[in-house]
Amino acid sequence: MISSPHDVAADAACRRRSGFHRAQEAFDTNLGPAHTEALFRRIDADGDGSPTVDELLGAVREYYTGTDEDAPGNLLFGAF
């Protein structure tokens, strides 16, 4: 069966989301699925369904050096 480009893109987006959810479990952030999904959407600043390296690095920087308590990066690795 030949997949359409839309099916291929949707499958890739699903795998990225799944990987993000698994990473949050590995980091033991204690975020439930709904909160992890909300964090995914906040980190994916352009909303394309795939956080870029720059978006993820921005979240990491927020976690370690940010002063905004509501920044999405503050939840990336769990409570500091």
Residue-number span of the structural domain to which 69 is assigned: 5-75
Residue 65 to residue 41: CA distance in whole angstroms? 21
Q: Tens of pLDDT along 16-44?
A: 788 888 888 888 888 888 988 999 999 99
Q: What is the 3-state secondary structure (H, E, C) of 5-70?
A: HHHHHHHHHHHHHHHHHHHHHHCCCCCCHHHHHHHHHHHCCCCCCCCCHHHHHHHHHHHHHCCCCC
Q: Total structural domains in the chain?
A: 1
Provide the pLDDT confidence category of residue 70 given band limits of 50, 70 and 90. Answer: confident
What are the structure tokens assigned to 17, written together?
Answer: 């989301």
The overall average pLDDT reported for the chain is 83
* Amino acid identity, position 37: E
Round the CA-based radius of gyration of the chain to a whole number and report it. Answer: 14
Answer whether residue 80 is part of any domain. no
Alpha-carbon gap, residue 9 to 61, rounded angstroms: 29
Q: Would you say residue 39 lies in a domain?
A: yes
Cut 0.85: pTM above it: no
Would residue 43 count as lying in a domain? yes
